[in-house]
Amino acid sequence: MLMRNSLIYLFCFLSFFVKAQSTYQYSVAQDSAYIRNNYVKSEFMVKMRDGVQLFTQVYAPKDKSKLHPIIMQRTPYSCNPYGTDKYKKRIGPNPFMIRENYIVVYQDVRGRWASEGKFIEMTPHLDKKLSEKDIDESTDTYDTIDWLTKNIPSNNGKVGQWGISYPGFFTSAGSVSQHPALKASSPQAPMADLWRDDAFHLGAFMLGANFGFYNFFQAQTQPTKNRPAPYFSFDSPDGYDFYLKMGPTRNAEDQYYKKRNEYFHENFDHPNFDEHWQKRNILPHLQNIKHAVLVVGGWYDEQDLYGTFKTYQAMEKQSPNNDIRFVVGPWVHGGWAGASGQSLADVEFGSKTSLYYQEKIESPFFNHYLIDESLPLSLAEATLFETGSNQWKSFDTYPAKNAQETVLYLQNGGKLGFTKPQNENGVTSYISDPSRPVPFSGKINDGFSAEYMVEDQRFAYQRPDVISFETDTLKDDLTMVGNILANLKVSTSGTDADWVVKVIDVYPNDTPNDPAHPDVVYGGYQQLIRSEIIRGKYRNDFTKPEAFVPGKPTEVKLELQDVLHTFKKGHKIMVQIQSSCFPWADRNPQKFINIFEAKESDYQKATQKVYHQKAYPSFITFGVLKN
Amino acid sequence: MKKLFLLLSLLVGMTKISAQSLSVAQQDSAFVRENYVKYQYQISMRDGVKLFTNVYVPKDASANNKYPIVMQRTCYDVAPYGKDDYPQMLYYSRHMMREKFIFVEQDVRGRWMSEGTWTNMTPHIANKKAKTDVDEASDTYDTIDWLVKNIPNNNGRVGQYGISYPGFYTIAGALCGHPALKASSPQAPVSDFFFDDFHHNGAFTIGYGLTFPVFGVQHPKPTTESWYDNLFPKRNTQDGFDWYRTQTPLKNLGANYKDNFFWQEHVDHPNYDEFWQKRSIIPHLKNIKNAPAIMVVGGWYDAEDLYGPLTIYKNVEKNNQNIYNTIVMGPFGHGDWARERGHHMHSNVYFGDSVATFFQRNIELKFFKHFLKGAGDGKSDLPEAYLFDTGKKQWQEFKEWPAKTAQKVNFYLSNSGKLTDKITSDGYSEFVSDPNKPVPYTEDNKQLFGFTPRAYMSEDQRFAGRRTDVLTFETDILTEDVTLGGEILAKLKVATTGTDADWFVKLVDVYPGDEQNTPFTPKHITLAGYQQMVRSEIMRSRFRNSFSKPEPLVPNQITDVTFRLQDVLHTFKKGHKIMIQVQSTVFPLFDINPQKFVDNIYKADASDFIKATHKVYNSSAIEVEILK
């Protein structure tokens, strides 16, 4: 989603030069000087079919000896700096492309910053457009591309587009514009379904991600180039403490936002996956794409993991004879645009994966389709970084064809095994206390971090309100590929409960330490591989919540997003289950109620049970890559 | 290569070594060689047993330039043993070394190059009747007597010092009654293994689980080679927490120590019986004959011996007339006043610069100089108690300790989560204690790989307070500084569904939400909202009425459990909060209570360990002393 603010994007670009052991040879200063010397910046108001004008910046190469392709980003986060005398320090998808002399275009989307019109979140796509008034992001993209190709001198008639996060959504939406000049699109960590990814995960509200964001992302009544003033001062290095003290989720509105932000309040008005969210889901509309697309994302994307995999899969499935490709690396949200990509927190990947992607994948992709098709492009259908073994792998199809469906069952004694439990009464119970929720991270942070996605889970393992099941030591490498389906049989003493499932790689006890990480003990490290939460009342229908019957064993199924990870010989696979993950998700009062209306007194302890017996087996299903 | 160069230059005497060109360590080493001569002796004790003794005498000692003797007796070896091998430094403080004394180092009875039989915490024999009645006091007497009579050019005055176990030998030696002993500085002294080191209030310090080979095996004969190096338990994992889980029940740990007499003594004496009682030096600290001047030294964050220095100082003070008895407590972990590290940290907390040097130069050196070289009349220019306020981060001088002007205040543990000044109701706070999910005592996995616990005493307690099995109680944000200075008494009123339970009470300083990191705060630490441990202690309920006669708890019956936490001098600053945390397990610092009363926890089976629900009533109070 929500690139928290455009500063993060800028940082990724700038950090590029700070960590200067790269194979990229120019500093930010050198690139900035090149751009100033070789480009001219212009600004336009481009009229859309319904008369609304969108603020558009064009960095055009001075060189007129050749025709140049156009590459564009449409963003809700501002194309600052404004003014034809103020230049961005770097332009385009990555610095390797700066000297290829693209015409680089930035545009404020409808209703944002210097553009006219009204912004609504995740503009619903209109399958049928009956008049000039029927607009959406695909029509705005069409109209923009049309204007650019007709009005920007020396363009070669080919247009590409790219964007990360919300700009990724605008790229996805733009990719179905069907403009003939659009030749290459790269939606990256694209937002796709706000209810399912950024705002909620299977009904659980993403408190840490949303609370701070909307303080700055505010509605506009007219175009502006100025940052809005935040509603309140939010400076909280200890997010767990801050959000716990906030109390019931409603206090985010009652005490902080006070309904001043319509976008934030939409979450409160629409806790279920109702029509409001359904029409904002772009996935069903990603059809019949005829140009080249490169969908890009990171295994450790803390914001749009779902959007990444589902965008690729929707486009692939819904576009016959397509030229749609997929790249996933060991990256956080936007990490491929950064300086190195060699590690994340305690985990090392063995090479500068981000630089590799920029130079060997992204640049050749755009150059091939936008400059000259004789430029070599050798890129498989899916290029995925296999974590655990730390190597890039190419696939002809994704999901992988040579994946064998495998099931691991929760068993008695905290074990995880390939055989279905035969016992009559296997169950593990724990008490979930909303006044002491399980932290989503063992570190002190502001409640919103990407590093949690690879973090050592021993801090959770040691808690009485987290239960764990692990395999024996693996005798061979096991490579897990694709999504993971969790099927739990549970009961609660309350009438609603959250269920968090975590899949974990347990390192061997004698794993040596690493001088590059002097504070870390790697022996027995429990690295998080993938996790997901479901607000139990949505287990049968996202549109219609259903209470639990206290004490009654109930099936709860949830999908964890894709992985490509090798659990090495000597490691173990572990599943942990818990009923809170704070403040990543807000707390469940554990009483069937509209949680946005719940009061302090509604939050109650509950005894949770997870069954691992013949009548009620709990298990995870996933693909194992065969050679 | 460097050693050869130094040796050559000494022999030839022609090359002047420029101080600027050598590191500090090299300078110290050069100083020792240039200024001292080494002698070695086997000194006979009154029962014939000979104790190995290294003596380093200043080269310029003469009839006109006599030196006092400063001695350390230790169970930890007095290497280097070669007669021409000199240590890098004499004493741990180069200020003491450069002041120059006759330095003596002795292996105690039964250790390393000394003869005799070794036992832990040698029982002190108050009334010696025969030459075979020996203890550390008599060994010290015999040694001092021999030294003053046999070491040429000594000025007849002897001082003794030692850190940790050598601190025990120092206070034990202070009882020797020899008139030549003029100054003793027991530092982080062991005093009683049932209340310090291996146990706290009867709970076994499982965090010492690796140390038994050092203490529980006799050396085969006098030797310079370690006889226990291959006896340490094999840890097949780097995950310390997990390893200690495998050593529970304690029988499992014991499987590593089948031939270790010290381990067997633990198993055979789970209660504070005569075996442990006679090994406590505390009852003997009265009416000391020919008492030397005593300066007890300790660290507020000493994870091994905090009870020792405070209890020794207070008992000496209470039970002796006209004695020079003083105490120094700094912001140090165990023995950390011996190492100058520049920016002084304990765990992640910064306490200022050169704190160890301040102690070594301005306090310790002053003490020994006054009593061994100077007037020795007690006008040492040092206060009765020289204590570091760990909140204000500065030294403070006291005329007595505890301070008579301190005001006792009760903080009641209200189930509202607040510390109140009155009992709010007959309500209680409740939690489930599960021996299979013990509360960790640290979130720093690296600490769990150490030999003994160390840094946890200033660690951020947020990881604990976020658990369902840790209770937290805090004040409102303080509107002014509040200085806790003195003793702390936990007066818990509790009930449990089990028949035994441990209670671990923690006093915590909660930093404001806008606290900034210092330049020395490790990068992965956030001081905003940091919950700094100030003091903590465990109490095993079975010993609540008597440490020698344990008593089970009656399930669900409200019971008094009262115990001391060690002293503090800590200012909680305006903007901070005072917090108390209460939990039942603290692993792997202390062993896990089965929570079912068994006669001997060292013999408990895994099936004896049961979950229990604990209640802490609002009438529970932590009594502290507040200084104005």
Of A436, A442, A511, the CB nearest to B463: A442
**A354 vs A3, A338, A380, A392, CA distance in Å?**
18, 6, 18, 12
Residues of A in contact with B455 (CB under 8 A): none
CA B8 to chain CA centroid, nearest Å: 43
Work out the number of other CB atoms within 10 angstroms of the CB of residue B41: 18
Task: Encode pLDDT of B449-501 as tens digits.
Answer: 778 899 999 999 999 999 999 999 999 999 999 999 999 999 999 999 999 99
The reply to whether residue A439 touches residue B448, judged by beta carbons under 8 angstroms, is no
E strands within A52-125?
53-61, 68-75, 103-108
ipTM score? 0.91
Q: Based on C-alpha coordinates, what's the Rg of chain B?
A: 25
Residues of B in contact with A459 (CB under 8 A): 443, 463
Confidence class for position A22, pLDDT limits 50, 70, 90: low
**A330 vs A351, A357, A507, B449, B462, CA distance in Å?**
11, 11, 18, 31, 31
Of B448, B466, B525, the CB nearest to A240: B466
Q: What pLDDT is recorded for position B174?
A: 98
> How buried is A401 (Cβ within 10 angstroms: 0-12 exposed, 13-18 middle, 19+ buried)?
exposed
Of B238, B440, B513, the CB nearest to A511: B238
The proportion of chain B whose per-residue pLDDT surpasses 90, expressed as a percent, equals: 93
Whether the upstream peptide bond of residue A364 has omega within 30° of 0, thus cis, is no
pTM comes to 0.93
pLDDT at B142 over 60: yes
Segment A556-581 shows an average pLDDT of: 98
Residues facing B398 on adjacent strands? B385
Nearest to A484 by CA among A387, A622, A331: A622
Quick one: DSSP state of residue A173?
H
Confidence class for position B20, pLDDT limits 50, 70, 90: low
**A157 vs A57, A179, A443, B516, CA distance in Å?**
18, 11, 51, 55
Residues facing A386 on adjacent strands? A391
Confidence class for position A13, pLDDT limits 50, 70, 90: very low
The reply to whether residue B526 touches residue A524, judged by beta carbons under 8 angstroms, is no
- Report chain B's mean pLDDT, rounded to a whole number: 95
Q: Which has more pLDDT, A479 or A13? A: A479
Nearest to A626 by CA among A403, A406, A405: A403
Segment A257-270 shows an average pLDDT of: 97
Nearest to A486 by CA among A471, A496, A501: A501
The reply to whether residue A235 touches residue B514, judged by beta carbons under 8 angstroms, is yes
The reply to whether residue A458 touches residue B445, judged by beta carbons under 8 angstroms, is yes
pLDDT at B86 over 80: yes
Q: What pLDDT is recorded for position A211?
A: 96
A476 in B contact zone (CB under 8 Å): no
Q: For residues A98 and A105, is the Cβ–Cβ distance under 8 A?
A: no
Q: What pLDDT is recorded for position A234?
A: 84
Q: What pLDDT is recorded for position B26?
A: 84
pLDDT at A15 over 70: no
A568 in B contact zone (CB under 8 Å): no
HSE on the CB side for A110, CA within 13 Å?
24
Place of tokens 């995960």: A201
pLDDT at A8 over 60: no
Task: Encode pLDDT of A398-443 as tens digits.
Answer: 999 999 999 999 999 999 999 999 999 999 999 999 999 999 999 9
pLDDT at B374 over 50: yes
Q: For residues A345 and A314, is the Cβ–Cβ distance under 8 A?
A: no
Pick among B236, B461, B468, B525 to test the A interface (most A CBs inside 10 A): B468
Residues of A in contact with B241 (CB under 8 A): 458, 462
Cα–Cα distance between A372 and A367 in angstroms, integer? 7
Confidence class for position B366, pLDDT limits 50, 70, 90: very high
Q: For residues A346 and A24, is the Cβ–Cβ distance under 8 A?
A: no
Pick among A234, A238, A245 to test the B interface (most B CBs inside 10 A): A238
B237: nearest CA partner in chain A: A509
Q: What pLDDT is recorded for position A23?
A: 72
Confidence class for position B519, pLDDT limits 50, 70, 90: very high
CA A412 to chain CA centroid, nearest Å: 35
pLDDT at B426 over 50: yes
Confidence class for position B4, pLDDT limits 50, 70, 90: very low
Confidence class for position A339, pLDDT limits 50, 70, 90: confident
Segment A300-325 shows an average pLDDT of: 97
Instruction: Name the helix (H) or strand (E) containing A564.
Output: strand A554-567
Of B437, B460, B528, the CB nearest to A462: B437
Q: What pLDDT is recorded for position A92?
A: 97
pLDDT at B13 over 90: no
Instruction: Name the helix (H) or strand (E) containing A316.
Output: helix A305-318
E strands within A233-362?
292-300, 323-332, 343-344, 347-348
pLDDT at B279 over 50: yes
Query: How far does the CA of residue A34 sit from the closest CA of chain B (Å)?
Result: 36
Residues of A in contact with B514 (CB under 8 A): 235
Of A238, A433, A464, the CB nearest to B513: A238
The reply to whether residue B437 touches residue A463, judged by beta carbons under 8 angstroms, is yes
Query: In this predicted structure, which of A10-14, A310-314, B390-394, B411-415 has the lowest mean pLDDT?
Result: A10-14
Q: What pLDDT is recorded for position A508?
A: 97
The reply to whether residue A509 touches residue B242, judged by beta carbons under 8 angstroms, is yes
Nearest to B445 by CA among B258, B243, B609: B243
Q: What pLDDT is recorded for position A236?
A: 85
pLDDT at B14 over 50: no
The proportion of chain B whose per-residue pLDDT surpasses 70, expressed as a percent, equals: 97
Q: What pLDDT is recorded for position B9?
A: 38
The reply to whether residue B449 touches residue A521, judged by beta carbons under 8 angstroms, is yes
- Report chain A's mean pLDDT, rounded to a whole number: 95
pLDDT at A17 over 60: no
Q: What pLDDT is recorded for position A20?
A: 36
Query: In this predicted structure, which of A516-520, B202-206, B584-588 has the lowest mean pLDDT?
Result: A516-520
The reply to whether residue B238 touches residue A521, judged by beta carbons under 8 angstroms, is yes
Pick among B241, B437, B511 to test the A interface (most A CBs inside 10 A): B437
Segment B331-348 shows an average pLDDT of: 95
Q: For residues B569 and B535, is the Cβ–Cβ distance under 8 A?
A: no
SS3 content of chain A, % helix, strand, coil (to 5): 25, 30, 50
Query: In this predicted structure, which of A185-199, B24-38, B359-373 has the lowest mean pLDDT?
Result: B24-38
Segment A441-463 shows an average pLDDT of: 96
Give me the helix-helix angle, B2-12 and B24-35, nearest 10°.
40
Cα–Cα distance between B229 and B14 in angstroms, integer? 44
Q: What pLDDT is recorded for position B25?
A: 82
Confidence class for position B21, pLDDT limits 50, 70, 90: low
Cα–Cα distance between A383 and A367 in angstroms, integer? 18
Tokens of A412: 């008695």
Residues of A in contact with B432 (CB under 8 A): 431, 464
CA A313 to chain CA centroid, nearest Å: 15
Q: Which has more pLDDT, A99 or B27? A: A99
pLDDT at B7 over 60: no
Residues of B in contact with A436 (CB under 8 A): 466-468
Residues of B in contact with A238 (CB under 8 A): 462, 513, 526, 528-529
Relative to beta strand B482-496, strand B502-510 is unpaired
Confidence class for position A311, pLDDT limits 50, 70, 90: very high
Q: What pLDDT is recorded for position A512?
A: 94
pLDDT at B410 over 70: yes
Of B241, B445, B526, the CB nearest to A444: B526
Place of tokens 């016959």: A320
A132 in B contact zone (CB under 8 Å): no
Residues of A in contact with B237 (CB under 8 A): 509-510, 523-524
Tokens of B277: 């009682």
A513 in B contact zone (CB under 8 Å): yes
Cα–Cα distance between A538 and A555 in angstroms, integer? 12
A511 in B contact zone (CB under 8 Å): yes
Of B242, B432, B462, the CB nearest to A444: B462
